[in-house]
């Protein structure tokens, strides 16, 4: 008899097979099968969470994959608070994205294929988060990678889409390399890859600190690839070439958070190695700021959201890097709701605007798309960290954790985090103001705009409810909420290295709320000034003129330098350096391949000559030590 | 006075008898187009597999004047070789009729090559190994050029012949030097001579070892002795390409491992550095070469070079897990690679073999079964979990880490990550490219279907439940260490 | 006066090298093939010299096997070269290079 966990995992696989193999005949009904499978998995996931809350965990080996001498690899599942939270996050967002896709993909020729890939993705993701050992986790890890690759390039007729798929693929290879070597090294030192045994052995001192650092950093390299952290983040913005539901599900809510999950799951290693933890935190904060600064100037609605995702993932890594694992996972949890929501809302906007992505052509859409607009605003308030919406609770927990940790430069880490929060709030409200407020800038598109069908708006509403409440319900009171009580037993409570010295908690909260509001005000002021600038030529508006002067000062002293800096960062750093490296790597390898092919001249004497060289080298290598 | 343990000879004897029977059938019925011979061959291969399995697990012996071993190691390789032969015969039936009108000596040659391979795996004396190699190679030279009216088939055959004979020269010179310095060609006596220091001149022995490595490296297509492989694989009839990549490669590794580890293991300090280089180069050049290929046979040829590199890593590690991993990997490789070639055969048509990877566009939807099978083989070749390929690589690489060869492991893992690109390229082509032109009906004979199904199930089984086979692979190791 | 074993071995090495050089420099497939035969015979000489030096028959027996194998190889080889000639009217290995890269 199958256990609940097995059923949860097998349901999407079943859906994938049915819609993949029989999609040709099932046509649209394959979507129903796929959605029903994920829906059932969602309900069972909720039941599992309730079970875990009641203290019922699972750590079972279902099937011994291999056992040879000292080596055992099994297919086994672990359900503890951490994986239960992940399970609920993944299945919830997946289910609503499936529902949404009905409307979004309705006219697409690849309808069944889309649902097959989507279900296959959910299956792989569930394997990743429910595995009880690193090897099976790697199975899921590769599975989600392949699905992501297939889905980014879903519209393969578009060259940009297949290029983006390729780029994601190449960059992720680098991460996977680190991940694999990390697993090999771990197995070399500990003789096991099962989570419970790794915790027992590593915690018991079987792992020297240097090895722990090595393994932790190698795993983090894998995490950087999958979770789009510096310097491997470049693939994620390009991944927006995929259909929007895919961006929402894979490239915002679930797959990209796998890296955070891995670090949290390996918390014992990062606790053993403060160096690795510090690296994680600093890479996280650097990525958060870098991506946020790029988002300040971008005008492509999906790319702004993509950079925002990269930036928010940076926050999660700050959390798990400083030892506040609960905070990191909590942010992962809340982020899935509001970022999933915003991507779906963006998809709804695109749907209305004939797939136009440029925000400069939007404007004033709120009156035409009430549900989309208001839910988008809810998501924005949530991500800006304004209480009592979800983002506030988790972001604040991360910032507090960073402030109180022992990581070198923890106060700077916190301060940079706050700066990032201002930027986050600014670019998100900028997006909202440009899209939904002001005058329509493209009358033709505006006239054709319409609200999306219910299959698309209902998921928006549900996720909006999540974006409003999940944070407060689970996170209140801060640092002592339900989520802390639930996750701390597995992840350990963050150690307050500086012993609560420095600013008091309420001041910290005040500062981060101020950061969120500050970004909003800045965006609003600039928005207004854009209109007032035209009026200001009339001398009557003397006061307004002065106000404009203030805005201009703002503009010159803060906004423009930041604007220029982020423009510069975007062009120099992102498109030239990082893209250059990523694409360059692909071209270099292909180039070497081509050059090495030239040796293969087709002439037998050439081959014989190489054999002779080889022989001489061989004699030299063997006889002369 | 002269007791012969017939069991030692039994598996080879079955195949040798089969060769004679098929030969007689061909003489009696020269115009049977290979039909009867094909069935007979299959039957005989089945019997040989059964014999090999029934001899499994006995205590290792050797006999016939110290010429042959009977141990689990040889028997396991017999299984790999016979599985490869059997699958190839299944694939060949329809293929021969389609391409050139079957001629019955085809099966005779395949069986002769098989006999050679089995002698290589069981050989206890350099003479036997040499004869096995030549028996196999000469049969393969002819098989590669079997489509004698096709220029590519001819050309591949001639290149293989000239370079193969050239390599044989080095191998023989190596045997001569080893013989000169140890006074024997018997593997166990060489081991004793080296262990007891009864070596006339040490540098000459090492020179001999180096030349032996060259000879074997050619047969397993290790870089820089690999250059024949892409041309020959591309030129050979497709079914034969699949055949060559499985059995002959496994057999060459069988002899290579046995000679290096069992007889010359005490000299491993001298040769492991050289093999290290060979392994690193082979993996890298193989994968890089495959990356820019558009012809699927040529891509798989480079891929087979790369896979030889992975198995060489096992030889560098030369510990229990490594050798077991290498042996296991060769078994897995036989199934997945012949499976891939069975797909290539199935997708070709008379007069148009359809070998460009871009020509596979849309196959995934036009022929779901074939597409799914090919995806399985490609994913397994790429070594993605949870397939046979991943598991074999995992064994080999963790053995290398265990033996302290971290950098070699790093090179190996990097390579296998690069390789994912071109293997998945085939899958992407099948599922994500717009097909051009008319869909062609695929006509597979029932035999070809059986081959494809067996290869798929074998690959799946080895990947999902490797325990029992891995256990068997581990039982072979005691013959060497 | 008995000739020392080393002389035989040096001769064998020289013959082998001539064979290798021939394989690398000649362009006619049949000549290349003959050069390979020269390599094999150089090896035979080494075997016989060693066998005599060691006072064993093993090496001499090996020579018979090598000769038999070489004969078989020649038979097959010539057939293949003829097949190539029929298709292309040349046995120049530098021109037989359709398969490459």
Cβ(A371)–Cβ(A464) below 8 Å? no
Residue C20 to residue A612, Cβ atoms within 8 A: yes
Taking contacts as CB-CB distances below 8 angstroms, the residues of chain B near A600 are 227, 230-231, 289
In angstroms, what is the C-alpha Rg of chain C?
17
Q: What is the per-residue pLDDT for A554?
A: 53
How far is residue B314's CA from residue C42's CA, in Å, rounded to a whole number?
34
Taking contacts as CB-CB distances below 8 angstroms, the residues of chain C near A616 are none
Burial of C87 (0-12, 13-18, 19+ CB in 10 A): middle
The answer to which of A105-114, A189-198, B393-402 has the lowest mean pLDDT is A105-114
How far is residue A294's CA from residue A287's CA, in Å, rounded to a whole number?
11
Nearest CB neighbour to B234, from listed C33, C58, C99: C99
Q: Is the pLDDT of residue B232 over 90?
A: yes
Q: Is the pLDDT of residue A540 over 70?
A: no
Q: In which band, very low, low, confident or very high, does the pLDDT at A570 lie, cut at 50, 70 and 90? A: low
Q: Is the pLDDT of residue B38 over 80?
A: yes
How far is residue A331's CA from residue A288's CA, in Å, rounded to a whole number?
14
Distance of CA A199 to the CA centre of its chain: 26
> A268-284, pLDDT tens digit by residue?
888 888 888 889 999 99
> A143-154, pLDDT tens digit by residue?
888 888 888 877
Q: In which band, very low, low, confident or very high, does the pLDDT at A501 lie, cut at 50, 70 and 90? A: low
Burial of B123 (0-12, 13-18, 19+ CB in 10 A): buried
Q: Is the pLDDT of residue B101 over 70?
A: no
Of A174, A24, A159, A125, give the one whose Cα is nearest residue B432.
A159
Residue B151 to residue C88, Cβ atoms within 8 A: yes
Nearest CB neighbour to B385, from listed A142, A153, A615: A142
Residue recorded with tokens 């910290």: A508
How far is residue C39's CA from residue C16's CA, in Å, rounded to a whole number?
5
Q: Is the pLDDT of residue C56 over 60?
A: yes
Cβ(A533)–Cβ(A548) below 8 Å? yes
How far is residue A529's CA from residue A153's CA, in Å, rounded to a whole number?
41
Helix (H, G, I), strand (E, B), or coil: what is residue B258?
helix
Nearest CB neighbour to A622, from listed B209, B218, B285: B209
Of A65, A80, A193, give the one whose Cα is nearest residue A134.
A193
Residue C29 inside a domain? The answer is yes
The answer, for B159 touching chain C at a CB cutoff of 8 Å, is: yes
> How close does chain A come to C2, measured CA to CA in Å?
31
Cβ(A471)–Cβ(A394) below 8 Å? yes
> A295-351, pLDDT tens digit by residue?
877 778 888 888 899 999 999 999 888 888 888 888 998 998 889 889 888 888 888
Q: Is the pLDDT of residue B386 over 90?
A: no
Nearest CB neighbour to C98, from listed B152, B176, B179: B152
Distance of CA B219 to the CA centre of its chain: 9
C-chain residue closest to B137, CA distance: C73
Residue B162 to residue C46, Cβ atoms within 8 A: no
Mutation for testing the A interface, residue in C16, C21, C94 having most A CBs under 10 Å: C94
Q: What is the mean pLDDT of residues C68-94?
A: 90
Q: What is the per-residue pLDDT for B438?
A: 67
**CA triple A575-A579-A582, angle to 5 deg:** 175
Q: What is the mean pLDDT of residues A411-429?
A: 87
> How close does chain C come to A617, measured CA to CA in Å?
16
B58 Cβ contact list (under 8 Å, min separation 6): B7, B70
How far is residue A76's CA from residue B433's CA, in Å, rounded to a whole number?
37
The answer, for B142 touching chain C at a CB cutoff of 8 Å, is: yes
- The conformation of residue A67, written as its DSSP 8-state character, comes to E
How far is residue A138's CA from residue A150's CA, in Å, rounded to a whole number?
18
Q: What is the per-residue pLDDT for B389?
A: 86
Residue recorded with tokens 């890269």: C101
Nearest CB neighbour to B474, from listed A24, A68, A146: A68
Q: What is the per-residue pLDDT for A574?
A: 66
Inter-axis angle of helices A258-265 and A209-226, to 10 degrees? Answer: 160
Give residues 208 to 267 of B whose Cβ lies within 8 Å of A: 209-211, 213-214, 217-218, 223-225, 227-228, 230-231
B-chain residue closest to C77, CA distance: B161
Q: Is the pLDDT of residue A537 over 80?
A: no
As for how many domains chain C has, the answer is: 1
Q: Determine what percent of chain A is predicted with pLDDT higher than 70.
A: 89
**CA triple B422-B427-B432, angle to 5 deg:** 115
Q: How many CA atoms lie within 13 A of B396 on its CB side?
A: 31
C-chain residue closest to B139, CA distance: C76
Q: Is the pLDDT of residue A543 over 60?
A: no
Nearest CB neighbour to A597, from listed C23, C99, C101: C101
Chains that touch C (3 or more CB pairs under 8 A): A, B
Q: What is the mean pLDDT of residues A242-249?
A: 84
Size of interface A-B (CB pairs under 8 A): 159
Q: What is the domain-level CATH number for residue C35? A: 1.10.287.3510
Nearest CB neighbour to C99, from listed B138, B141, B231: B231
The answer to which of A88-97, A157-166, A572-581 has the lowest mean pLDDT is A572-581
User: Please, what's the largest Cα pairwise distance for chain A?
Assistant: 97
Taking contacts as CB-CB distances below 8 angstroms, the residues of chain C near B138 are 69, 72-73, 76
Nearest CB neighbour to B169, from listed C36, C87, C97: C36
Taking contacts as CB-CB distances below 8 angstroms, the residues of chain B near C77 are 141, 161-162, 165
- Residues in a beta bridge with A523: none
Burial of A505 (0-12, 13-18, 19+ CB in 10 A): middle
C-chain residue closest to A594, CA distance: C101
Burial track C25-37 (b if 16+ CB lie within 10 A, e otherwise):
ebbebeebbebbb
More confident: A495 or A291: A291
How far is residue B439's CA from residue B129's CA, in Å, rounded to a whole number?
48
The answer, for B399 touching chain A at a CB cutoff of 8 Å, is: no
Q: What is the per-residue pLDDT for A531?
A: 41
Taking contacts as CB-CB distances below 8 angstroms, the residues of chain C near A606 are none
Q: Is the pLDDT of residue B373 over 80?
A: yes
Taking contacts as CB-CB distances below 8 angstroms, the residues of chain A near C25 are 605
Counted residue by residue, chain C has a size of: 101
How far is residue A316's CA from residue A335's CA, in Å, rounded to a whole number?
10
Taking contacts as CB-CB distances below 8 angstroms, the residues of chain A near B278 are 618
Q: Is the pLDDT of residue A558 over 70?
A: no
DSSP B75-114: HHHHHHHHHHHHHHHHHHHHHHHHHT---THHHHHHHHHH
Helix (H, G, I), strand (E, B), or coil: what is residue A270?
helix
Residue A621 to residue B277, Cβ atoms within 8 A: yes
Residue C100 to residue A604, Cβ atoms within 8 A: no
**Of the spans A226-240, A496-510, A518-532, which averages the highest pLDDT?**
A226-240
Residue A157 to residue B273, Cβ atoms within 8 A: no
DSSP chain C: -PPPHHHHHHHHHHHHHHHHHHHHH--BHHHHHHHHHHHHHHHHHHHHHHHHHHT-SHHHHHHHHHHHHHHHHHHHHHHHHHHHHHHHS--BTTT---S--
Size of interface A-C (CB pairs under 8 A): 30
Q: What is the mean pLDDT of residues A507-517?
A: 83
Q: What is the per-residue pLDDT for A606?
A: 87
Cβ(B81)–Cβ(B121) below 8 Å? yes
- Residues in a beta bridge with B70: B61
> How close does chain B come to C3, measured CA to CA in Å?
17
> How close does chain B come to A147, measured CA to CA in Å?
12
> How close does chain B come to A621, measured CA to CA in Å?
6
Taking contacts as CB-CB distances below 8 angstroms, the residues of chain A near B281 are none
Residue C33 lies in domain: 5-88
Taking contacts as CB-CB distances below 8 angstroms, the residues of chain C near B237 are none
Whole-Å CA distances, B365 to A113, A148, B139, B195? 10, 20, 39, 61
Q: In which band, very low, low, confident or very high, does the pLDDT at A533 lie, cut at 50, 70 and 90? A: very low
DSSP A335-371: HHHHHHHHHHHHHHHHHHTTT--BGGG---GGGT-HH
> B182-218, pLDDT tens digit by residue?
988 999 999 999 888 888 788 889 999 999 999 999 9
- Residues in a beta bridge with A68: A71
Residue recorded with tokens 């096709």: B150
Taking contacts as CB-CB distances below 8 angstroms, the residues of chain C near A608 are 23-24
- pTM score, whole prediction: 0.80
What's the mean per-residue pLDDT of chain C?
90
Q: Is the pLDDT of residue B179 over 90?
A: yes
Burial of B269 (0-12, 13-18, 19+ CB in 10 A): exposed
Q: What is the per-residue pLDDT for A17?
A: 84
What's the mean per-residue pLDDT of chain A?
81
How far is residue A1's CA from residue A8's CA, in Å, rounded to a whole number?
13
Whole-Å CA distances, B181 to A130, A604, B261, C43, C51? 60, 33, 19, 15, 11
In angstroms, what is the C-alpha Rg of chain A?
25
Q: In which band, very low, low, confident or very high, does the pLDDT at A598 lie, cut at 50, 70 and 90? A: confident
Taking contacts as CB-CB distances below 8 angstroms, the residues of chain B near C59 are 176, 179
Residue recorded with tokens 């609200």: A451
Q: Is the pLDDT of residue A469 over 90?
A: no
**Of the spans A589-598, B45-54, B94-103, which averages the highest pLDDT?**
B45-54
Q: What is the mean pLDDT of residues A163-179?
A: 81
User: Please, what's the largest Cα pairwise distance for chain B?
Assistant: 73
What's the mean per-residue pLDDT of chain B?
88
* The pair of three-digit structure tokens given for residue A402, joined into one six-digit string: 């960073």
Q: What is the per-residue pLDDT for A515?
A: 84
Residue C100 to residue A612, Cβ atoms within 8 A: no
The answer, for C62 touching chain B at a CB cutoff of 8 Å, is: yes
How far is residue B290's CA from residue B299's CA, in Å, rounded to a whole number?
5
Helix (H, G, I), strand (E, B), or coil: what is residue A439?
coil
Residue C24 inside a domain? The answer is yes
> B65-91, pLDDT tens digit by residue?
788 888 889 999 999 999 999 999 988
How far is residue A524's CA from residue A472's CA, in Å, rounded to a whole number?
26
Q: In which band, very low, low, confident or very high, does the pLDDT at A250 lie, cut at 50, 70 and 90? A: confident
More confident: B35 or B85: B85
Q: In which band, very low, low, confident or very high, does the pLDDT at B132 lie, cut at 50, 70 and 90? A: very high
């Amino acid at each position: 008899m199958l256990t609940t966990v097995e059923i949860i995992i097998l349901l999407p696989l079943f859906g994938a097979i049915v819609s993949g193999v029989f999609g040709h005949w099932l046509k649209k009904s394959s979507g129903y099968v796929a959605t029903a499978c994920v829906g059932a998995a969602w309900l069972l996931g909720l039941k599992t969470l309730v079970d875990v809350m009641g203290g019922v965990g699972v750590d079972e080996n279902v099937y011994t994959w291999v056992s040879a001498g000292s080596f055992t690899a099994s297919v086994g599942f672990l359900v503890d608070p951490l994986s239960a939270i992940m399970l609920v996050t993944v299945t919830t967002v997946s289910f609503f994205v499936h529902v949404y896709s009905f409307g979004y993909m309705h006219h697409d020729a690849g309808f069944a294929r889309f649902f097959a890939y989507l279900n296959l993705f959910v299956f792989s993701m569930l394997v990743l988060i429910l595995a009880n050992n690193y090897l099976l986790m790697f199975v899921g890890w590769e599975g989600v990678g392949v699905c992501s690759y297939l889905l980014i390039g879903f519209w393969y007729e578009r060259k940009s889409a297949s290029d983006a798929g390729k780029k994601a693929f190449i960059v992720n290879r680098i991460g996977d390399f680190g991940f694999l070597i990390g697993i090999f090294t771990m197995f070399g030192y500990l003789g096991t890859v099962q989570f419970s045994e790794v915790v027992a052995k590593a915690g018991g001192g079987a792992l020297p600190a240097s090895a722990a650092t090595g393994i932790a950093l190698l795993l983090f390299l894998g995490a950087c690839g999958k979770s789009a952290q510096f310097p491997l983040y470049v693939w994620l913005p390009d991944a927006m070439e995929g259909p929007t539901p895919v961006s929402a599900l894979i490239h915002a809510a679930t797959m990209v958070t796998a890296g955070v999950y891995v670090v949290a799951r390996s918390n014992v290693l990062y606790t053993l190695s403060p160096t690795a933890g510090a690296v994680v935190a600093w890479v996280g904060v650097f990525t958060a700021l870098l991506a946020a600064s790029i988002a300040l100037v971008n005008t492509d609605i999906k790319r702004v959201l993509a950079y925002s995702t990269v930036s928010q993932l940076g926050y999660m890594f700050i959390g798990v890097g400083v030892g506040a694992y609960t905070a990191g996972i909590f942010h992962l949890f809340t982020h899935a709701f509001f970022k999933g929501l915003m991507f779906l809302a963006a998809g709804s906007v695109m749907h209305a605007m004939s797939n136009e992505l440029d925000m400069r052509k939007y404007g004033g859409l709120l009156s035409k798309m009430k549900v989309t607009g208001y839910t988008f605003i809810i998501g924005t308030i949530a991500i800006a960290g304004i209480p009592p919406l979800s983002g506030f609770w988790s972001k604040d927990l991360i910032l507090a954790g960073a402030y109180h940790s022992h990581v070198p430069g923890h106060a700077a880490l916190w301060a940079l985090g706050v700066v990032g929060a201002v930027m986050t709030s600014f670019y998100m409200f900028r997006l909202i103001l440009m899209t939904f407020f002001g005058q329509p800038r493209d009358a033709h598109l505006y006239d054709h705009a319409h609200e999306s069908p219910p299959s698309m708006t209902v998921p928006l509403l549900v996720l909006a409810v999540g974006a409003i409440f999940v944070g407060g319900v689970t996170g209140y009171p801060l640092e002592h909420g339900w989520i802390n009580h639930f996750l701390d037993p597995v992840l350990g409570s963050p150690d307050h290295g500086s012993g609560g010295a420095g600013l008091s908690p309420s001041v910290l909260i005040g500062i981060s709320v101020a950061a969120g509001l500050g970004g909003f005000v800045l965006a609003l002021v600039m928005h207004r000034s854009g209109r007032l600038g035209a009026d200001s030529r009339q001398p009557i508006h003397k006061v307004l003129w002065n106000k404009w002067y203030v805005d201009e000062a703002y503009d010159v002293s803060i906004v423009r330098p930041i604007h220029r800096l982020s423009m510069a960062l975007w062009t120099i750093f992102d498109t030239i350096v990082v893209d250059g490296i990523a694409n360059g790597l692909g071209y270099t390898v292909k180039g070497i391949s081509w050059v090495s092919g030239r040796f293969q001249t087709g002439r037998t004497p050439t081959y014989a000559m190489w054999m002779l060289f080889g022989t001489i080298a061989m004699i030299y290598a063997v006889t002369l030590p | 006075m002269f007791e012969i343990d017939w069991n030692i000879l039994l598996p080879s004897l079955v195949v040798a008898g089969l060769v004679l029977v098929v030969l007689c059938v061909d003489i009696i019925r020269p115009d049977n187009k290979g039909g009867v011979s094909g069935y007979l061959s299959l039957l005989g291969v089945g019997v040989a597999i059964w014999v090999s399995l029934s001899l499994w697990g006995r205590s290792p012996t050797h006999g016939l004047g110290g010429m042959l071993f009977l141990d689990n190691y040889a028997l396991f390789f017999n299984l790999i070789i016979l599985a490869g032969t059997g699958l190839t015969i299944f694939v060949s039936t329809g293929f021969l009729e389609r391409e050139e009108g079957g001629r019955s000596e085809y099966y005779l040659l395949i069986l002769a090559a098989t006999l050679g391979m089995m002698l290589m795996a069981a050989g206890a004396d350099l003479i036997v190994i040499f004869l096995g190699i030549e028996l196999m190679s000469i049969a393969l030279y002819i098989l590669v050029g079997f489509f004698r009216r096709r220029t590519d088939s001819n050309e591949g055959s001639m290149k293989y012949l000239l370079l193969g004979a050239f390599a044989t020269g080095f191998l023989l010179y190596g045997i001569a030097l080893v013989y000169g310095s140890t006074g024997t060609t018997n593997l166990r006596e060489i081991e004793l001579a080296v262990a007891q220091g009864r070596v006339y001149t040490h540098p000459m022995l090492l020179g001999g070892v180096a030349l032996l490595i060259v000879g074997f490296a050619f047969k397993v297509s290790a870089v820089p002795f690999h250059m024949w492989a892409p041309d020959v694989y591309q030129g050979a009839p497709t079914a034969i390409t699949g055949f060559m990549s499985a059995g002959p490669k496994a057999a060459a590794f069988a002899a290579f491992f046995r000679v290096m580890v069992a007889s010359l293991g005490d000299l491993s300090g001298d040769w492991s550095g050289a093999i290290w280089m060979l392994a690193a180069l082979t993996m890298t050049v193989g994968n890089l070469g495959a990356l820019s290929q558009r012809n699927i046979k040529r891509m798989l040829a480079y891929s087979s070079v790369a896979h030889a590199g992975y198995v060489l890593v096992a030889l560098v590690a030369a510990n229990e897990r490594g050798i077991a991993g290498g042996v296991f990997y060769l078994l897995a490789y036989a199934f997945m690679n012949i499976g891939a070639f069975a797909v290539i055969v199935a997708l070709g048509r008379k007069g148009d073999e359809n070998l460009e990877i871009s020509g596979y566009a849309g196959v995934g939807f036009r022929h779901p079964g074939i597409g799914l099978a090919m995806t399985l083989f490609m994913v397994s070749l790429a070594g993605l979990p949870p397939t046979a390929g991943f598991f074999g690589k995992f064994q080999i690489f963790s053995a290398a880490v265990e033996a302290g060869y971290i950098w070699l492991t790093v090179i190996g893992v990097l390579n296998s990550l690069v390789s994912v690109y071109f293997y998945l390229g085939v899958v992407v082509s099948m599922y994500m490219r717009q097909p051009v032109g008319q869909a062609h009906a695929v006509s597979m004979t029932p035999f070809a279907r059986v081959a494809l199904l067996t290869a798929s199930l074998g690959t799946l089984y080895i990947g999902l439940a490797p325990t029992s086979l891995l256990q068997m692979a581990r039982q072979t190791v005691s013959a060497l260490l | 006066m008995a000739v020392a074993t080393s002389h035989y071995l040096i001769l064998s090495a020289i013959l082998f090298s001539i064979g290798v050089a021939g394989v690398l420099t000649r362009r006619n497939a049949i000549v290349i093939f003959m050069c390979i035969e020269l390599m094999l015979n150089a090896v035979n000489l080494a075997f016989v010299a060693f066998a005599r030096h060691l006072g064993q028959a093993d090496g001499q027996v090996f020579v018979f096997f090598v000769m038999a194998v070489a004969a078989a190889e020649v038979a097959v080889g010539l057939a293949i070269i003829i097949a190539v000639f029929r298709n292309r009217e040349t046995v120049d290995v530098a021109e037989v290079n359709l398969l490459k890269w």
